[in-house]
Amino acid sequence: MRINRKKFIYLISPNKIYKKFFEDLRKVLGTRKISFFQLRLKRYSLKRKILIGKKVKNICKKNKVKFLINDDPILALRLEADGCHLGQKDMNIKEAKKIIGNKIIGVTCHNSINFAKAAIQSKASYLAFGAFYSSKTKKTKYVANIKIISKIKKITKIPIVAIGGIDSKNYKNLLLNNADFLAISGYIWNNKKYEPLEALKRLK
């Protein structure tokens, strides 16, 4: 998986698709700062996810952003997405590969070297670690620190995605410590101070 230093953002959808979402998504993806967009909708029916997913996929395609589905390789297959993201409680990589084939499959490793080693062995496309900072998007069960990035970098070249409470004040620290991509959601979509596009522009 090629790493483009200018496109270090891995954007995750808001929990709720609001009225202006698609318009905001077009603007945000149009900045050319985003490598991945993950559709993460926990409380929607399959039918709604498919409708939303089709629209999102088209916007991603126009802006050359990889479109990923959270947790659900079967939905990724139906939407012909570029891949999926798996949590530790989801299907394993081997099973997911049987469904979507040789597409992008990223794995949550929390703060665990052992989870990372298992994912490396299963040929994951990227390893996601966190939370590095406290987040309002998701309850923080696991806390990761910067040291884990350098430990993992010593054993693999697989890209590392940092996640959890990342914003304009703390993102540079993760990039300086060799995180390849930064997974961001709340700072863009639930920012009380800035519109999504304005918030994104602050991540220079």
Average per-residue pLDDT for the chain: 95
Q: In the prediction, which pLDDT does 4 show? A: 75
Inter-residue contact 129 to 152 (CB < 8 Å) = yes
For residue range 162-175, list pLDDT tens digits in order.
Answer: 999 999 999 999 99
For residue range 29-43, list pLDDT tens digits in order.
Answer: 999 999 999 999 999
| pLDDT band at residue 138 under the 50/70/90 scheme | low
| pLDDT band at residue 135 under the 50/70/90 scheme | confident
Tokens of 191: 């920012």
Average pLDDT for 159-187: 97
The gap between the terminal CA atoms of the chain, to the nearest Å, is 22
- CATH 3.20.20.70 assigned to domain 9-201? The reply is yes
Closest Cα to residue 160, out of 143, 170, 175, 172? Answer: 175
Q: In this structure, is the dihedral angle defined by the CA atoms of residues 94, 98, 99 and 100, taken in order, positive or negative?
A: positive
Average pLDDT for 16-20: 96
Domain ranges in the chain?
9-201
Per-residue pLDDT at 158 exceeds 90:
yes
Instruction: Record the pTM.
Output: 0.95
DSSP state of 107: E
